[in-house]
């Protein structure tokens, strides 16, 4: 377990690192914000790009898994590892062979994820309410927003497949970039 002194030292080191490299954080934040805006402007293109990217990631990780599994063929769990790697290769090939159809499938998965995440978050919030936690309402709101997103995505199928992944990733990139920009500017101002 981390002691308060170790935590304070780690926090101080992180703060120094951000101060020393604030320009890199600013650049990354601007780049993420630009990509987020681009995804929001052209969500169908962003959805397709994300699908192709995921296809390549599955394919590369599956091939890597096959190679590692072959080298470690005498270890326990060989067949499970082999099946897992082969499934990753198959998923990658399917995503790359039919990216437009894969966008629809990924959209369904995203909708189901947001529904499950929303229900789970609401249950977690209600559990915190029972324990008189002061912040349970924020969790409840987050869960309700997740369910609303799921409802919009699922009820809008198949047309929501065009925009859903691109918009959600765009929002994520925009807010992530904005927070990095804010952090970099705060670090820069504390340098002076």
- Residue 151 confidence (pLDDT) above 60: yes
- Residue 18 confidence (pLDDT) above 80: no
Q: What is the pLDDT of residues 76-129, one digit of tens each?
A: 788 888 899 999 999 899 989 999 889 998 899 888 988 998 899 888 888 777
Q: What is the pLDDT of residues 74-89, one digit of tens each?
A: 887 888 888 999 999 9
Kindly state the DSSP code that residue 75 receives in the 8-state scheme: S
pTM recorded for the entire structure: 0.70
Cβ neighbours for 21, distance < 8 A, ≥ 6 positions apart: none
Angstrom distance (rounded) from CA 116 to CA 110: 10
Our CA angle for 62, 67, 72, nearest 5°, is 120
Pairwise pLDDT comparison (68 vs 8), residue with the higher score: 68
| Neighbour-count burial for 144-158, b at 16+ CB within 10 Å, e otherwise | eebbebbeebbeeee
Q: What is the pLDDT of residues 51-75, one digit of tens each?
A: 999 999 999 999 999 999 989 888 8
């Amino acid at each position: 377990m981390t002691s308060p002194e170790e935590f304070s030292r780690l926090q101080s080191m992180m703060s120094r690192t951000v101060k020393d490299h604030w320009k890199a954080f600013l650049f990354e934040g601007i780049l993420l914000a630009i990509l987020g805006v681009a995804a929001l402007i052209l969500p169908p293109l962003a959805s397709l790009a994300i699908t192709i990217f995921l296809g390549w990631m599955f394919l590369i990780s599956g091939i890597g898994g096959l190679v590692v599994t072959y080298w470690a063929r005498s270890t326990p769990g060989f067949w499970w590892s082999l099946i897992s790697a082969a499934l990753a290769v198959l998923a990658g090939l399917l995503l790359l062979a039919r990216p437009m159809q894969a966008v629809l499938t990924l959209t369904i998965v995203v909708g189901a994820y947001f529904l499950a995440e929303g229900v789970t978050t609401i249950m977690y919030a209600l559990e915190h309410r029972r324990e008189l936690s002061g912040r349970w309402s924020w969790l409840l709101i987050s869960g309700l927003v997740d369910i609303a997103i799921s409802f919009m995505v699922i009820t809008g199928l198949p047309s929501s497949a065009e925009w859903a992944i691109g918009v959600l990733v765009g929002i994520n990139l925009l807010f992530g970039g904005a927070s990095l920009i804010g952090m970099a500017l705060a670090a820069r101002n504390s340098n002076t």
